[in-house]
A and B are shown apart, each in its own frame.
Chain A
Amino acid sequence: AQSVTQLGSHVSVSEGALVLLRCNYSSSVPPYLFWYVQYPNQGLQLLLKYTTGATLVKGINGFEAEFKKSETSFHLTKPSAHMSDAAEYFCAAAGYSTLTFGKGTMLLVSP
């Protein structure tokens, strides 16, 4: 079984600032890890995923995440926030059966 914890239900940044969204997981098997983004009134869209191999994963829209096994973390970062990045972000972990989501972090971007 796996569980996912996202620290902070809301994160506020200024446009151009660094974005850091935190995700920690627990899993009884080596997990696959995902970040999804949900724009208002839309479905979820995959940003990036970690399976095996390189621990720094690059995704769409300039986002990246680093898998740190020792810290059981998979934090999402972006060097410079855009207004269009404002959305709900979900971290998810998969063992061999289901995909388990964290409770989401709302990213707010101010001008």
Chain B
Amino acid sequence: DTAVSQTPKYLVTQMGNDKSIKCEQNLGHDTMYWYKQDSKKFLKIMFSYNNKELIINETVPNRFSPKSPDKAHLNLHINSLELGDSAVYFCASSQGLAGGRSEQYFGPGTRLTVT
């Protein structure tokens, strides 16, 4: 069974479109995260949710809106896509309070290409 899954794996779209990426974890964790990995492989936290509540929002444009319907799911909706949004987006989860100290389990990533 996949611990942290993301859909879709690849997403190609045009500038100005709106798209969503879905994430689900079956580990029973309390905390979920979204990371962005740019073309130089640099990983940066975007959001963190603990029990459906937003905990961390790291100066991400408000075109990005995370939604957590329950603690096993954290979706990422992106409005008005721009070329600079092209990246690999990783979902992750961990047990306990939001923060970096717990081991995080990562999904396989969603490669977003904006043309």
Residues of A near any B CB (own CB < 8 A): 32, 34, 36, 38, 41-46, 49, 51, 88, 90, 92-101, 103-104
Contacts of A43 in B (CB 8 A): 4, 90, 92, 106-109
Number of A-B contacts (CB under 8 A): 60
Interface size class of B (residues with CB under 8 A): 20 to 34
Contacts of A38 in B (CB 8 A): 41
Q: Is B70 positioned at the interface, with any CB of A under 8 Å from its CB? A: no
Chief secondary structure at chain A's binding surface: strand
21 A-B residue pairings within 8 Å (CB atoms): A32-B100, A38-B41, A41-B108, A42-B109, A43-B90, A43-B92, A43-B108, A44-B43, A44-B90, A44-B106, A46-B105, A49-B103, A51-B101, A92-B100, A97-B98, A98-B48, A98-B99, A99-B45, A99-B104, A101-B42, A104-B43
Q: Is B58 positioned at the interface, with any CB of A under 8 Å from its CB? A: yes
- A35 smallest CB distance to B (angstroms): 12
- A53 smallest CB distance to B (angstroms): 14
Q: Which of A42, A43, A95 has the most CB of B within 10 A?
A: A43
In the complex, the chain B residue whose C-beta lies closest to that of A101 is: B43
Cα distance, A99 to B46, chains bound together (Å): 11
Cα distance, A36 to B103, chains bound together (Å): 10
Q: Are B56 and A97 in contact (CB under 8 A)?
A: yes
Contacts of B45 in A (CB 8 A): 98-99
Contacts of B92 in A (CB 8 A): 43-44
Q: Which of A32, A42, A99, A101 has the most CB of B within 10 A?
A: A99
Known A-B contacts A42-B109, A43-B108; A103 and B41 likewise in contact (beta carbons under 8 Å): yes
- A106 smallest CB distance to B (angstroms): 8
Known A-B contacts A99-B45, A101-B42, A103-B40; A45 and B106 likewise in contact (beta carbons under 8 Å): yes
Q: Is B44 positioned at the interface, with any CB of A under 8 Å from its CB? A: yes
